Structure 1
Amino acid sequence: MHSVFDARFWHIRDRADTAEPERRATPPHLSDEVVRGFLAPLRRAVIRPGLLRWFEVWQIRREGQRMEALSPEALAAKVQAQAPALLQGGLTGPPLRIAIAGVREMTFRHTGKRHHPVQIMGGLGLLRGQIVEMATGEGKTLTTLLPAVVVALVGVPVHVVTVNAYLAARDAETLAPVLNAFGLSHGLITSETEHHLRPGIYARDVVFSTNSDIAFDYLRDRLALGRSRTVLAQIAQRVLSANAARDGQRILTRGLGFAVVDEVDSILIDEAQTPLIITAQRPGDDALTAGEDAILALAASLEAGRDFTLDRKKRNVTLLPPAETMLAGFVPPTAALVPEPARREALIQALCAIHLYIRDEHYILNDDGLVIVDEFTGRVMPDRQWQSGLHQLIEAKEKLDRSGRRETLAQITYQTFFARYLWFAGMTGTATEVARELQRSHGRAVFRIPTNRPSRRKMWATWLFGSDAARWRAVVAEAKSVASQGRPVLIGTRSVAASEHVATLLRGAGLAPQVLNARQDADESALIAEAGTAGRITVATNMAGRGTDIPVGPAVEARGGLHVILTEFHTAARIDRQLIGRAARQGQRGSARAIVSLNDPLFLDNVPGRVGLIRSLTIGYRGRLLGLLAEVLRKRAQNRAAAQGRRRRRETVQRAERQHKALGFRPDNI
């Protein structure tokens, strides 16, 4: 991906020879990787707006003042009239300033909100394909309007991409009146959208959707069309086929023009550790089911430390000699387990299913059976399945009906997918921590924009406890104390089990908490809307940390605003920042505190030696310890987890390339 902005990004030199707009796939070369790695430390990973950018914002605001007297029709016509100049000369100069000023004025008339200078700055950064970091609560949704309208006016397909269907629907509803005012069509695609309706929605000017929906639709197009994607092939297809849709050849996505990716660090960093895979499900097999039950029983009879070792951080199992002996004497109940490598792999997967994948943390059970929970967002992923038989082994562990195994048809990583867009930009509140990786993998520096108003958030001292019980008692006591002052409290946890445990303790203390986790995701909007009311206590997983705004009224803000209690540190410091960022948005008052335990998985998985040293120095004391120790442990543990995450993402990309070759797919095919 080029790092230098081209004002006419639809005229890029490496555009693919396809009927729909798309960037040509370029397989990575070792020499390019070496040069990129050498140059990366020499480039600035984080940039800030300079005087020229602020002058440009001033010009746009001055232009907007001249438009305040225009009628809605005249305002829309003035902005639409800039389209030919933008198409010919690119997204620059007076036509761009007029267009952005017009969108800003139209937004005020339909929403009552006029873009602040920092939002204008963010919109300009998005138009230029930058990764824009705007603090939580600074109005990223309205900022999206500026590039979406301008790019759609020149006829380039625009995709506004968010991390979940709730946010996509919210953004579509919020921005629809302004898009309608400019005569731009728009649509929403989620997992609930029926397949036959999608081509018509993708044909609209602006499409709101999730990263997974758009990426999977793109993969389906590639599978359906294969090598028939060039302009000449498409013309021949239309001539020879009376009904392309009948042959399964109808294009869904209308190509990959321009994308604005909200919460871009979540998509390009957190979710990039797992490739997107299209599979064909095979029906259940009684012989396979018997084999799964037998290998699971064998795994359950083994003892950690004696027969195998666990690496929870890497989610890896190593068999020791006693287990190897038992495996050699294992009588396979199915032919699939006769080869020794197959038995060995199945046993390792069974041990992972028993010891490394925990109910109400990595998955939940509902009416649909076993559903995976995204560890970064806290949301369920009903269409996902663990690979290599792991999913079925966990179902066997939970005594569930076995789902059929899936055969891989095609796969793509998010790194590869977004690189196919002619141009894409991203926004988030937490990109600084991964700025270097974003620059190296996508050729983009993070454009860090200041807040519109100074932050008034108060960070209370971190509390560290020697036991989980002491930690939870402190959480309950603080929540009760703050709520009694008429302030709302948001308690953040990492897992469904932890959120329900602390909710039970709060009820035992005579409080009435509201719980937001993967089980209650259908009520998310209602729970979030009420989480800022006086005295309300909300217990939430990571779901409350991304893209959601907890409204706080003036009376509540006068008492101190929202108070956030972080009960467990996450593997990524960005996620902690997202959760803390729920408090004191847009210059309001608010506060936050971390109340953690030495038994936190982050500490035990990444710095077990240091945890052991602290326990020995404190003689096993389980009460409150020095808070500074928690910060030392957190920083070291999160650095190690971040390094491990970078390695996993590199391995994901490399594995996907090997998979393409193994399946016979060339990069220009899929």
Structure 2
Amino acid sequence: MSESLLLRLSPRDLASGRPYAERDERPPAWHDELALGLWHGGVRPALRMMGGRAASARRVVAMTRSHQAEMAQLDDAQLRQRAAALRHELRRSRFGAAATAAFFALVREVAGRVLGKRHYDSQVHAGWLLLHGALVEMATGEGKTFAATLPVCAAALVGLPVHVVTVNDYLAARDAEAMAPLYAFFGLRCGAIVHELTREERRLVYAGEIAYCSNKELTFDYLRDRTALGDRASPLHRALAQAVAPAGTPTPTVLRGLAFAIVDEADSVFIDEARTPLILSATVPGSENAALVGWALAFAATLRPGEDFEIERALMRVRLSELGRERVDAALEDGAMLPPEATRRGCAEAVTQALSARWLYHRDQQYVVVEGKVQIVDESTGRVMADRAWERGLHQAIEAKEGLAATGERVTLARITYQRFFRRYLRLAGMSGTATEVAAEIGRVYGLPVWRVPLHRPSQARRAAPRCLRDGEARWSAVVDSVRRHAIEQGRPVLVGTRTVLASEQLSLRLAAAGIDHVVLNAKHDRDEAQIVARAGAPGTVTVATNMAGRGTDIQLGAGVAERGGMHVILTEYHESARIDRQLFGRAARQGDPGSGEALVSADDELFRVHAPRLSRFLLRLHAARGELPTALLWLLRRVAQASSEARSRGARTASLKHDRRLAAMLSFSGRGE
């Protein structure tokens, strides 16, 4: 179904669920992918520097301002009448500049009356780009959530079901509740999809014009729909079934289709979380493989690294050597402690997963144990990924390593990658504070151009020169000194970012020993995330947070903080992506507020050891006596390590997408793509 056809559908057609709006997925040929890569990686950035879409956005901003006095003179009833008139113009012109500018001015006026705040020009700029299918980069704190209400109102008013996608349930519920009065003014229904809702309750929310939801909940609802449809999941089967179904027949799906989505924190969803597919699974009893998992874990403890197996930390995998496989075969022939149904392939797979659990996956780094359960931690956000489990027996191996009861292995019912899922939207847009670094990949995979929106106020951010200490102990000492200087002596709020739960707790012990009061925000305390982050701007407050915990929640500076220099951010370890480093520093100096940041890292950090081992060892030997690497050499080490890490991650995403497409092609004969 094309966008033009979608805009000609009546709201009644869309509300009935017929037809199911979704773009047919046709993977581009290799030469098309090459052309897209060149276009988004080189040609489009050059055109962006010359003007183009940014110039049209500036014109729309100026036109919106020109309607401001006119809209201010209308009462509420007249504003609703004007919105009804503009609705037809928006549909007829397919969101043309003149109609959109007038409608944006109307929404801006309504927001001032209903919510008590008005859209900045920079937010109008972003709203125009979002409405026309772009990924906009807005600096942290520039009000992405509020900016999205402009295109959401415009699209929902003409009858498009709109999904506003966030990174967790809390943000979805918060934003839906905060913006609901604005949507209600126009008669638009808005709801939030959260984990606790039943399938029928989800159907009611999606039946409204606007649904706020997390990327995980939305994608799993789509997979459940595909599973419920069974062999009728293809567009042809679905169209035939809807054509012959009597009027009023209940639909087995909860979604009305994939018409228009605006994805907040789009770099996190499109890039960081796109390395592994979303898998809808059922759990089989864990006792069936418990004996094999227990044997494999004990057997793995007898194997020798470098001889029986190789550890590839950069790729997070273990490979058995020929000698290791021979030892597995010998154990299988011996049969001691093995279940009778064990096979050579099953034993090798179980041993490989046991080795991974033992050598690659560590408590309070890749996972935490909460209430007797292993819960995966998203390394890019520091948040617990509830109801997620590793597949192929890895989760059970980690549970056995921790001495926990096995939860049972997962059997795949349906799967899809974020790359394939979001490409199915007829109209897709995104928002992020950091996207230019991955603009080429986002353009090639999702077809979205990346545009940077100008700041509402000039930035007052100050950044100290980064320091690379000899080892972790020296780094933590420098961090404690910096916290004492900024929080205790200057009375400024301090946010310290760590990569893992373990690192946050190690720092917490050192701060406590130094007598510095602080709060810790990590995957073990994420229930209080919003409250902790909301208080993080108070004078003298010290907050230790893993990665981007609290992302999406605004930090308001307390009284007198701006006069003292604003918030100070300390990065304690570079991340695998420079985007995440930039996000962390973006927590300070928001919307023209003062703020500062510094990086205090260690030469033996995991990023350097795993992704630039030779260079880091050489530089350590070269400057062993000095104790710190010069800034220029630290810059080189960081660039090499992060480039290597991002290349591997990009390769993993590409491999995951290709594998998902191959599976879809294999199943296509049955009419199912998942």
TM-score by length of 1: 0.93
In 1, Cα distance between the equivalents of 2:670 and 2:487? 59
* 1:8/1:91 contact within 8 Å kept: no
Amino acid at match of 1:57: V
Q: What's 2:158 paired with?
A: 154
Q: Deviations over 1:198-250 (max 9, x none)?
A: 111110010000011111111111111134353341243346xx864xxxx52
* 2:484/2:516 contact within 8 Å kept: yes
- Aligned partner (choices 234, 246, 257) of residue 242 of structure 2: 234
Alpha-carbon distance change, 547 to 7 in structure 1, aligned in 2, over 3 angstroms: farther
Q: CA deviation at 1:342?
A: 2.6
Matched, 1:304 2:308: no
Q: What's 1:32 paired with?
A: 32
In 2, Cα distance between the equivalents of 1:117 and 1:563? 28
In 2, Cα distance between the equivalents of 1:448 and 1:535? 34
Q: What's 1:293 paired with?
A: 294
- Aligned partner (choices 660, 663, 666) of residue 659 of structure 1: 663
In 1, Cα distance between the equivalents of 2:42 and 2:510? 52
Q: CA deviation at 1:659?
A: 2.4
In 2, Cα distance between the equivalents of 1:444 and 1:631? 31
* 1:45/1:436 contact within 8 Å kept: no
Which SS does the other structure have where 1:329 is aligned? Answer: helix
Q: Deviations over 1:607-664 (max 9, x none)?
A: 000111012112376x433233322211111111111111111100111122234556
Q: What's 1:258 paired with?
A: 260
Amino acid at match of 2:29: H
- Aligned partner (choices 607, 629, 635) of residue 612 of structure 2: 607
In 2, Cα distance between the equivalents of 1:509 and 1:554? 26
Q: CA deviation at 1:375?
A: 0.8
Q: CA deviation at 1:283?
A: 1.2
Q: What's 1:60 paired with?
A: 64
Matched, 1:531 2:536: yes
Percent of residue pairs bearing the same amino acid type: 43
Which SS does the other structure have where 2:261 is aligned? Answer: strand
Q: What's 1:69 paired with?
A: 73
Q: Deviations over 1:287-325 (max 9, x none)?
A: x11111111111111222233221111012232344233
Q: CA deviation at 1:166?
A: 1.6
Q: What's 1:215 paired with?
A: 219
Alpha-carbon distance change, 535 to 666 in structure 1, aligned in 2, over 3 angstroms: farther
In 2, Cα distance between the equivalents of 1:367 and 1:480? 35
Amino acid at match of 1:307: D
- Cα-Cα RMSD: 2.2
Which SS does the other structure have where 1:173 is aligned? Answer: helix
Amino acid at match of 2:226: R
Q: Deviations over 1:379-436 (max 9, x none)?
A: 1112111111111111111111001111111111111111111101001010000011
Q: What's 2:20 paired with?
A: 20
In 2, Cα distance between the equivalents of 1:602 and 1:428? 24
Deviates more, 1:341-350 or 1:410-419: 341-350
TM-score by length of 2: 0.93
The within-5 A match list for 1:529-608 is: 529-544=534-549, 546-608=551-613
* 2:200/2:254 contact within 8 Å kept: no
Q: CA deviation at 1:110?
A: 2.2
Amino acid at match of 1:289: A
Which SS does the other structure have where 1:645 is aligned? Answer: helix
Which SS does the other structure have where 1:410 is aligned? Answer: strand
Q: CA deviation at 1:94?
A: 2.7
Alpha-carbon distance change, 617 to 666 in structure 1, aligned in 2, over 3 angstroms: farther
In 2, Cα distance between the equivalents of 1:336 and 1:388? 17
Alpha-carbon distance change, 669 to 313 in structure 1, aligned in 2, over 3 angstroms: closer
Q: CA deviation at 1:80?
A: 2.6
In 1, Cα distance between the equivalents of 2:575 and 2:516? 27
Amino acid at match of 1:308: F
Q: What's 1:451 paired with?
A: 455
In 1, Cα distance between the equivalents of 2:365 and 2:7? 44
Q: CA deviation at 1:28?
A: 3.9
In 1, Cα distance between the equivalents of 2:156 and 2:299? 59
Unaligned runs of 5+ in 2: none
Q: What's 1:490 paired with?
A: 495
- Aligned partner (choices 103, 107, 114) of residue 103 of structure 1: 107
In 1, Cα distance between the equivalents of 2:519 and 2:74? 47
Q: CA deviation at 1:109?
A: 1.6
* 2:165/2:213 contact within 8 Å kept: yes
In 2, Cα distance between the equivalents of 1:646 and 1:45? 20
Deviates more, 1:436-445 or 1:150-159: 436-445
Amino acid at match of 2:610: D
Q: CA deviation at 1:181?
A: 1.3
Count of residue pairs the alignment pairs up: 655
Which SS does the other structure have where 1:58 is aligned? Answer: helix
Alpha-carbon distance change, 665 to 394 in structure 1, aligned in 2, over 3 angstroms: farther
The within-5 A match list for 1:335-484 is: 335-339=340-344, 341-367=345-371, 369-484=373-488
* 1:336/1:342 contact within 8 Å kept: no
Which SS does the other structure have where 1:330 is aligned? Answer: helix
Q: CA deviation at 1:443?
A: 2.1
Which SS does the other structure have where 1:544 is aligned? Answer: coil
Amino acid at match of 1:603: F
- Aligned partner (choices 265, 268, 271) of residue 269 of structure 1: 271
Q: CA deviation at 1:486?
A: 1.0
In 2, Cα distance between the equivalents of 1:300 and 1:18? 57
Q: CA deviation at 1:39?
A: 4.8
Alpha-carbon distance change, 31 to 227 in structure 1, aligned in 2, over 3 angstroms: farther
